[in-house]
A and B are shown apart, each in its own frame.
Chain A
């Protein structure tokens, strides 16, 4: 299995794939979006699972599900922790 790239945009994860949102993952977003996402549960140091890739991108953090438009998902850099794709 090829090494997963260190950081990729959230929008490039496949269905069911998991990833870590680490320090500075949300830096590309304007601060008001960053703060809102963090308060909704998508902050630094959380693990996410992609329930539905595309638009909207639906991710699950713990038991919270968030729907994000493509532009937002494109700008969140995550570290995949396992890959479902070969």
Chain B
């Protein structure tokens, strides 16, 4: 039996932590059948063999608000979207704000769906001396109530047990309970909740704080106009510096593993098309992307920790002043911060922004935020620009994020003065308690995102790598004059000086490979379009790489490796993938990545709109092709011009 259970709760009720605790990595993002509304579902099996599909609905304060999220939740509960009404609802409440959360529970229970109420974060509540009487609470609410801590795992077994019983028809919410008719926040609802809270929970009298508490002081610092911004800048610099530093160890390991696999293949297979395809197309192409997995996993891990700590809500206020000056609402903070991981969830999170103009402005600037697909390109290009100087490379890395942020703000200011005039909505935000973040939760989130990245690398990127390999390997060019002459000389001296002969053969191979690059389909396409990119310092190979990166940014590195890397250095088996790419050369023997070219490319990648899925999502969220096309055109022009200026300045 598979039961569908809707997961409901306020923002900050620990709903996501509970979702991750119950489902672990068995989650997927899907559309509600027959709609374009996305949601996460996860599956877990109970001890009695019942399988539960948990539908993670967005966190809302009330089911009755005029907001898309509230409507989505009621639609789901009433079966207007998805496969009819869910079999049950799991309502998550925060034990530490129980009086308020009970009002939400009442309004959800009035819908009459079989339900289980989970009172979360009881570990924190116990520390304050709050004791919840589960039995009395169950009697009062008419449904099973379980006190849990999604963070520590306390009570989870009992929760699953109750959920199993409920979906198997053991208990049904009674809509005739004396729940207040009115919605959360009304006086009637508040009085009912206060009474109910008094009945089911016992707590020592709270010591009323007069003067400033530690909590107050932290809030004041983190939201301070100057100190708050400094804290935010420090937190972000620390975040990116640690990603850069920590990731290098697993990256080296991955590089070594792929290098070893490539070497083994060359040893086992005879030289030929298959060997070439496997070593340079498949293994090389995959390595060039997969090597960045540690950075992506770390980014999501640290962002999840930061969000869990309660700091981000304060940071939203610290940057709100700045953002509003550029015409972005405070609510744009979370969507824009998520866009640093990936623009897709970021753009979808803009549904939280009530004002249409605010929402459009946020959607249009979101792709300027440096997403994780740019991380590989930044990492490569900054390491080329500042080889052997990790601190400067780290700073340049952070600088990319800053540049993207500035471009986004400037664009928003421009939009709000031209096509999107009008005031923005003021910010109202709940500031959750500070807590020690859950490592387990962050691990689940980051492994999940890493898996998604790998799946992408194993399908789309692998396919592009193979196509690129084919485009660069065919049609075959004949041996060059130079190569024939060199080979002849090599065979003359092979007896007397084997080392010199080997060297000559190597040179001959390079001549052939260069000729092959120019002669191949990829070379011809690059050659035709190269004049367009010459002003920003790109040669034929880089032109092809940039063109493919319009499908997905991270493909850039794969393409460079397949096109230029493998042919650049015959000793490439001895080096890592990254070292191979760094040492690649152009036709004249110049390095492929000169300083001005690397600088210009870096700026181009910060600013350009090179992501097909984002354009599709923008079309879906704005309801017209006008906005994504405007976005694509605008960002491409800005990126090109900025790259041109950078190239000129650095030349």
Contact indicator B61/A58 (Cβ below 8 Å): no
Contact indicator A56/B317 (Cβ below 8 Å): yes
Given A40-B428, A66-B431 in contact, is the A35-B65 Cβ separation under 8 Å?
Answer: yes
In the complex, which of the residues A15, A61, A63, A66 has the most CB atoms of chain B within 10 Å of its own CB atom? A63
Q: In the docked arrangement, what's the CA distance between A23 and B54, Å?
A: 40
Contact indicator B186/A68 (Cβ below 8 Å): no
Residues from 213 to 244 in B contacting A, C-beta threshold 8 Å: 213, 215-216, 219-220, 223
Contact indicator A46/B190 (Cβ below 8 Å): yes
Contact indicator B190/A45 (Cβ below 8 Å): yes
B478, CB-defined interface residue at 8 Å: no
Q: In the docked arrangement, what's the CA distance between A70 and B320, Å?
A: 12
Contact indicator B185/A43 (Cβ below 8 Å): yes
Contact indicator B320/A65 (Cβ below 8 Å): no
Contact indicator A38/B100 (Cβ below 8 Å): no
Contact among B100, B210, B215, B354 with A32 in the assembled complex (CB-CB below 8 Å): B354
Contact among B66, B97, B320 with A41 in the assembled complex (CB-CB below 8 Å): B97
Contact among A43, A46, A64, A71 with B97 in the assembled complex (CB-CB below 8 Å): A64
Q: Mark A21-41, 1 if CB is under 8 A from B, else 0.
A: 000000000001101111111
Q: In the docked arrangement, what's the CA distance between A71 and B210, Å?
A: 26
B99, CB-defined interface residue at 8 Å: yes
Q: In the docked arrangement, what's the CA distance between A32 and B62, Å?
A: 12
Determine how close the nearest CB of chain B comes to the CB of A31; give it in whole angstroms. Answer: 8
Residues from 1 to 36 in A contacting B, C-beta threshold 8 Å: 15-16, 32-33, 35-36
Given A33-B428, A39-B61, A69-B426 in contact, is the A63-B97 Cβ separation under 8 Å?
Answer: yes
In the complex, which of the residues A43, A66, A68 has the most CB atoms of chain B within 10 Å of its own CB atom? A43
| Residues of A close to B219: CB separation below 8 A | 51-52, 58, 65
Contact indicator B190/A39 (Cβ below 8 Å): no
Number of interface residues of B (CB under 8 A): 43
Q: In the docked arrangement, what's the CA distance between A46 and B215, Å?
A: 21
B275, CB-defined interface residue at 8 Å: no
Contact indicator A41/B100 (Cβ below 8 Å): yes
Q: In the docked arrangement, what's the CA distance between A62 and B128, Å?
A: 14
Q: Mark B412-430, 1 if CB is under 8 A from A, else 0.
A: 0000000000000011111
Number of interface residues of A (CB under 8 A): 34
Name A31's closest neighbour in chain B (CB-CB). B66
Contact indicator A43/B430 (Cβ below 8 Å): no
Contact indicator A39/B426 (Cβ below 8 Å): no
Contact indicator A45/B187 (Cβ below 8 Å): yes
| Residues of B close to A56: CB separation below 8 A | 223, 317, 320, 427
Contact indicator A64/B430 (Cβ below 8 Å): yes
| Residues of A close to B213: CB separation below 8 A | 51
Contact indicator A67/B431 (Cβ below 8 Å): yes
Contact indicator B223/A36 (Cβ below 8 Å): no
| Residues of A close to B210: CB separation below 8 A | 16, 84
Contact among A33, A35, A69 with B320 in the assembled complex (CB-CB below 8 Å): A69
Q: Mark B296-327, 1 if CB is under 8 A from A, else 0.
A: 00000000000000000110110011000000
Q: In the docked arrangement, what's the CA distance between A45 and B186, Å?
A: 9
B330, CB-defined interface residue at 8 Å: yes
Contact indicator B431/A58 (Cβ below 8 Å): yes
B211, CB-defined interface residue at 8 Å: yes
Contact indicator B97/A37 (Cβ below 8 Å): no
Name B431's closest neighbour in chain A (CB-CB). A65
Contact indicator A51/B190 (Cβ below 8 Å): no
Given A35-B64, A51-B215 in contact, is the A67-B427 Cβ separation under 8 Å?
Answer: yes
Q: In the docked arrangement, what's the CA distance between A64 and B310, Å?
A: 13
- Beyond contacts A39-B183, A55-B321: 17 other A-B pairs, Cβ-Cβ < 8 A, are A35-B64, A36-B61, A38-B185, A38-B186, A40-B430, A43-B187, A43-B190, A45-B187, A45-B190, A49-B209, A51-B216, A52-B220, A58-B219, A61-B100, A63-B433, A67-B430, A69-B426
Question: Lowest 7 CB-CB distances: which A-B pairs, in order?
Answer: A38-B185, A39-B61, A39-B62, A43-B185, A69-B426, A65-B431, A56-B317
A-B contact pairs, 26 of them (CB 8 A): A15-B216, A16-B212, A32-B65, A33-B428, A37-B185, A39-B62, A39-B183, A39-B185, A40-B100, A40-B428, A41-B185, A43-B190, A44-B186, A51-B216, A52-B220, A52-B223, A55-B321, A56-B320, A58-B431, A61-B100, A63-B433, A65-B430, A67-B316, A67-B317, A67-B429, A72-B427
